[in-house]
Amino acid sequence: MRFDVISIFPDLFPGPLGDGIIARASDKGLLDLQVHDLRAYADPPHNQVDDEPFGGGGGMVLKPEPLFAAVDDVRTQAQAAGFDPGPVVLLSPQGKRFDQERARALAGQAQVTLICGRYEGVDERVRLHLVDFELSIGDYVLTGGELPAMVIIEAITRLQPEALGDAEATQHDSFSELLLDFPQYTRPADYRGMSVPEVLRSGNHPAIAQWRRQQALLATATKRPDLLEARGLSDEERALLAEASNA
């Protein structure tokens, strides 16, 4: 999968994407990250990418001309590299909340263009006529879209086949079924008087699977009840949750 990031601070990349699982995915050829300097698409000699807003007010607004030119060029480059150009996404606090469902949807794309907003935002013509949709990683404001772009790239990349080395690894992630993950334990079995639950050491895989399901339901009900409300519960899950709550 290819990501094209448009930013006025391209040197921020790859940042955390240059280590760990995402770096290994890149080494395997599963991820092609291309970062484009927006200033390269602005008119010389000053290569200005922002200007004062019409109507007055504080702050600066990213101009439409460099952004349109950058997206046109990025799509041409992606196509020349053999990637079918996908959606153009603006990172903005006004965007829809990025979540696991949207990560899965974008993971099916061959290419995604991410525009990193800055300052007071972008010219409205960019929003209306250039981007396909906007995304936000939370209800707070950051200085720019670079960190959200990294978050989105990581979340999508780890869903690519072979990215984690275990095809089933992402199936049990938190939010994969609108459930939080079940508790995890490792060696030693006993530490400072704290023991790993006996069921996990039993070798009884059906019992382990049921315990994990039950604990995932309990964790979600305790920490994120809104997820269960949106998801709904089967009769079996209600029984498991009631049993766990009364334990």
Domain of 13: which CATH number? 3.40.1280.10
Q: What is the pLDDT of residues 19-58, one digit of tens each?
A: 998 999 999 999 999 999 999 999 999 999 999 999 998 8
Inside any domain, residue 184: yes
What range does the domain containing 90 cover? 2-157
- The answer to whether 64 and 49 have CB atoms below 8 angstroms apart is no
Cis? peptide before 45, omega within 30° of 0: yes
Q: Give the pLDDT score at 169.
A: 54
**Mean pLDDT of the 150-172 span:** 78
Whether 105 and 38 share a structural domain: yes
CA distance 40 to 48: 10
Active-site positions read: 93, 120, 158, 173
Residues 209, 148 share a domain: no
For the segment 220-233, the average pLDDT, to the nearest whole number, is: 92
Model pTM score:
0.87
Instruction: For residue 42, tell me if it sits in a domain.
Output: yes
Q: Does position 110 have pLDDT exceeding 90, yes or no?
A: yes
Cα(50)–Cα(67) distance, integer angstroms: 10
- Residue 62 three-state SS: strand
Write out pLDDT tens, residues 78-91: 999 999 999 999 99
| 167 pLDDT more than 60 | no
Query: Among 84, 104, 85, 111, which residue's Cα sits nearest to residue 158?
Result: 104
- The answer on 73 and 6 residing in a single domain is yes
Same domain, 148 and 27: yes
In 10 A of CB 200, how many CB atoms? 16
Does 121 lie in the same domain as 239?
no
148, 209, 211 from 205: Cα distances, Å: 39, 6, 10
